[in-house]
Amino acid sequence: MTNDLKTPGAPTREDDLYRIGTIAKLTGISVERLRAWERRYGLVPTYRSGKTRFYSQEQLEWLQRVKRLIDRGHTISTLVGLDADQLDERLSVQRNVSLRPAVVGLIGPNLLVLEQQADQTQRVEVQSRWSNMEAFVNDQAGTGKLDVIVAQLPVLLTEPIETIAQLHPASRIVSVYQFATPAQISAVQELGVPTLEWPASWQEIEYACATSAGTPLRAARTAPRRFSDEQLIAISASPGQDDTRCPQHLVEMITSLNAFADYSLSCALETEHNPEIFQRAHTDTTQARAQLELALEVFVEADALLPTPN
């Protein structure tokens, strides 16, 4: 089978034809994008009557396959030359390598509220919820296997984390704390437990769950900055408590990623050729920067690299 989007002609069955607006609704590809593909790649409709474009059933099915692959990170320029069988092959490969979402349990009222307020995604599957540690300890009947348990702790102590580990030895743990000393943070991290300071975004929770479960997570949207340019300058100028210069090196990498994130976004806004590629580069870059900022935050707190606000 060949892709007949490039072979316009008279319709053979009128009931198999769809107007461009109907195609947009059935595929999720906007009318503007369909017209752009027609101009750039020659993806012409089967038939035209005046200015009205008509697409065939076969074209509809081809475009639906293309849309699914684009949603999974492919670009239209890599798909335009493929027929339906080749697209199905890519979809099959994509399904085989796709990773299930991390199965997660949440402990703590702020996390439960944050989940309710967040946009629904398929990156994590929240299976169990507890309002606090007491409820968690007393409600273990019927709890299934959890990849990750995220625990909100008012004070970051090792005791509740050890309790979670005893009750769910196969689960990874992510701790979200409100108050902690540098020693407490170090003690928890020595247990191999990632730490996030509250307030945290749902995106950060998702990322921590996915990476803790061993599941790579592609960025879905731009990650907000945790440090301003002024703060990065102040951190870089701080002497620290040793001569490793790890905070300064992190600042250099974060600054470079900030610059590239701005550049890739400008490319996405200005180019007419595959802007999706630059948008993906932008969002993935901000996620990489956010991860480095979490590492930098550990040094900032441990060495008091930023002045305390009055």
Does the structure show a pLDDT above 80 at 17?
yes
CA separation for the pair 231, 226 (Å, rounded): 10
Does the structure show a pLDDT above 60 at 221?
no
CA separation for the pair 151, 136 (Å, rounded): 10
| Tokens 């102040």, located at residue | 234
Domains of the chain: 4-97 (1.10.1660.10), 102-303 (3.40.50.2300)
Render pLDDT for 227-241 as a digit per residue (tens, 0 to 9). Answer: 877 888 888 888 766
**pLDDT value of residue 250:** 92
CA separation for the pair 56, 36 (Å, rounded): 18
Confidence class of residue 13 from pLDDT cuts 50, 70 and 90?
A: very low
Within the chain, where are the H helices?
Answer: 20-27, 31-41, 57-71, 84-97, 109-117, 133-138, 158-167, 182-190, 202-212, 229-237, 246-270, 275-303
In DSSP terms, 104 is beta-bridged to: 126, 148
Instruction: Give mean pLDDT, residues 44-61.
Output: 86
CA separation for the pair 273, 291 (Å, rounded): 30
CA separation for the pair 222, 203 (Å, rounded): 10
Instruction: Give mean pLDDT, residues 268-281.
Output: 72
In DSSP terms, 77 is beta-bridged to: none
Look at 96 and 240; give whichever has higher pLDDT.
240
- Report the range out of 47-56, 91-100, 141-150, 151-160 with the highest average pLDDT: 151-160
Share the mean pLDDT of the chain.
79
The answer to which of 37-46, 50-59, 235-244 has the lowest mean pLDDT is 235-244
Decide: 140 and 167 in contact? Cβ < 8 Å: yes
pTM, two decimals, is: 0.43
Nearest to 77 by CA among 117, 109, 37: 37
